[in-house]
Amino acid sequence: MGRWEPDAAGRLRAAALDLYVEQGFEQTTVAQIAERAGVTARTFFRHFADKREVLFAGTEVLEQEMLAGLAAAPAGAGPLEAVAAALDAAAGFLGDNLAHSRRRRSVIAANAELRERELIKMARLADSLAQGVRDRGTPDPEARLAAEVGIAVFRTGFERWVDGPDGGDLSEVLRESLAQVRGLI
């Protein structure tokens, strides 16, 4: 076992995603993930609560990046413009690894439990964005509406990016999606 090799969490994430794609989420065990990563199952549980969390481990960082982008929006920006800044930050965080995003999405799409977990993640991001917009002085229901629109744009734009041609720019796709929403008004 390579217990002393660096980045056990990264190796576990890569091993899990490979196994989920190869044999399915349900069929993959923690022991198989740990073995493929060259660590023990005990090491797995030091990094992740369960095998679902391997796919969702970056949620907190994504949330922090989005909130930082929201906070960095100019003081005079309206609620939707501030949310657009959060989407730009999300694109900066996620936009460098299209192949990984495609594989992760395929695993999640194939499993109802994981789809539910993804929806919970999106709801949490919407709650955080709504609070961030309120903190900028926008009252409810406008703050909630701006956050929910932002998450809808994020979800649909992310899907377009993942399904689109290689080398596409996630930031550009999210901006185009937001422009489409504005065009609906």
Coil, strand or helix: which one is 166? coil
Give mean pLDDT, residues 99-123. Answer: 96
- CA-only gyration radius of the chain, Å: 18
Q: Please, which pLDDT band fits residue 28 given cuts at 50, 70 and 90?
A: very high
- What CA–CA distance (Å, rounded) separates 28 from 32? 7
Per the structure block, which two tokens stand in for 50?
């369960």
Per the structure block, which two tokens stand in for 139?
């009252």
| Structure confidence by residue, pLDDT tens digits, 146-161 | 999 999 999 999 999 9
Q: Domains, the chain, ranges and CATH?
A: 8-54 (1.10.10.60), 58-184 (1.10.357.10)
